[in-house]
Structure 1
């Protein structure tokens, strides 16, 4: 029997390509690579796309019914859309992945966590309130933060569109981690983010302790170095 997984892209549907919409942008890219067409699903007040997938692991084959949704309501009340979809699909919180922007991380940095506070993100807060639980997974996508931390400046920052160079960064560092293949399989089967081999090696090297220098007894008299 196929496992149902729900991927939610948070954002403001009427403001495409803004930093606050990066969750929707990631799902748009995934849908494009899977050749999916978004359709408006009025009962959920969302756009949705769906596809059955099979992932071959070392021990078995995992069948997944993958559902993607983009709420049409504003970010701050998007939990209503998610709750309607979850109720109709009968999906447990552990099978829900909410993709959203994160000011605490530099552009292109991803992390995933289950449960915990909304960290000030109103979209995540709305989902928590409407589901009545925080036990869903959040894929946090770094968008950076302006040097001026005043509320008005931050609000303008997240509601403005990505610069071309920032879009290029997303295409290079973010989209591949959720792309069909190793990225999507790691997310759907293991509930984790895929890390390329090179990135894993760099992380391991950072964790290795620095080599200890052995003490050497130096001669009491200066060395006699001859230059020919």
Structure 2
């Protein structure tokens, strides 16, 4: 198991871990999970119901497949990478609970030297980013009060993993304001859905492909990317 940026290997392996409350799939707080269907479509993978299977032993929905034929800047346009997408079946504040066992299982089922250890990227809503924006991937930084990220840190006993923030803003609420809770649990608006199903998810795909490119070159460093 390795949650750190992976060393160069024949086939990079990305684990996108989508934080959220699966019982409230269209709220701002579940944005990481909301974009899954659009992400799968962009990567040429089957739809969510077909691709993600409930793994009761992991307590999450998991799907894994090869993404092929993408131009990744590392040279070989025909080279692919393995993409695993996981959606926890537990509430946000314990989202991290399935991860240790899941990472061990993935490392065993897709072992080196054929595959690199899975590189974990946690998808999460972000209050500090402007709405309708995608942040830079950030490694080993503060959870900033996000319950899902805090749970992942607690479960893995480390902050050393990548996070990709999806901007929802604060809706005019100040930090510590009780209105923040109401805001993150509010429904995504029509304009938000349109953005995240198209332009927003395209940016997420770009970030993943850039990460794969860096993994192939062996330079996916641990730099703490800023928002």
TM superposition score normalised by structure 1:
0.74
The residue aligned with 1:177 is 203
Distance in 2 between residues matched to 1:160 and 1:188, nearest whole Å: 34
Structure showing greater Rg: 1
Q: Structure 1 residue 163: deviation in Å?
A: 1.1
Question: What displacement does 1:152 show?
Answer: 2.5
The question of 1:59 aligning with 2:75 is answered yes
1:156 to partner: Cα distance? 0.9
Judge conservation of contact 2:107–2:117 (CA < 8 Å) in 1. no
- Bigger share in helix: 1
1:50 pairs with 2:64: yes
Comparing 133-142 with 22-31, greater Cα deviation is found at 22-31
1:104-151 Cα shifts (integer Å, max 9, x gaps) = 011121121111211111110110111111111100110011223354
Residue 114, structure 1, aligned to residue 123, structure 2: no
Residues 141-188 of structure 1: CA deviation (Å, up to 9, x unaligned): 100112233542111110111111221232343111134xx5642243
Which residue number corresponds to residue 155 of structure 1?
181
- For the residue of structure 2 that corresponds to 1:28, the secondary structure is helix
Per the alignment, in what secondary structure is the counterpart of residue 158 of structure 2?
Answer: coil
For 1:134, the equivalent position in structure 2 comes to 159
Residues in 1 aligned to 2:190 and 2:97: alpha-carbon distance in whole angstroms: 33
The answer to whether the aligner puts 1:21 opposite 2:21 as a matched pair is: no
The structural deviation recorded for 1:75 is: 0.6
User: 1:35: which partner in 2?
Assistant: 46
CA contact (8 A) 2:126 2:167 kept: yes
Query: How many positions carry a matched residue from both structures?
Result: 189
Separation in structure 1 between the aligned mates of residue 213 and residue 159 of structure 2, nearest angstrom: 21
Name which of structure 1's ranges 56-65 and 33-42 shifts more when overlaid on structure 2: 56-65
Question: Which segments of 5 or more consecutive residues in structure 1 lack a partner in the other structure?
Answer: 192-228
CA RMSD of aligned residues (A): 2.3
> Which segments of 5 or more consecutive residues in structure 2 lack a partner in the other structure?
1-9, 109-115, 216-227
TM-score (norm 2): 0.75
Q: Which secondary structure state, in structure 2, belongs to the residue aligned with residue 66 of structure 1? A: strand
- CA 146–58 in structure 1, closer or farther in 2 if over 3 Å, else same: closer
Q: Secondary structure at the match of 1:174?
A: helix
Q: 1 or 2 for the larger relative contact order (CA 8 Å, sep ≥6)?
A: 2
Do the aligned partners of 1:4 and 1:66 also contact (CA within 8 Å) in 2? yes
**3-state secondary structure, aligned to 1:110:** coil
Distance, in Å, in 1 between the alignment partners of 2:99 and 2:200 is: 23
1:94–1:137 Cα contact (<8 Å) kept: no
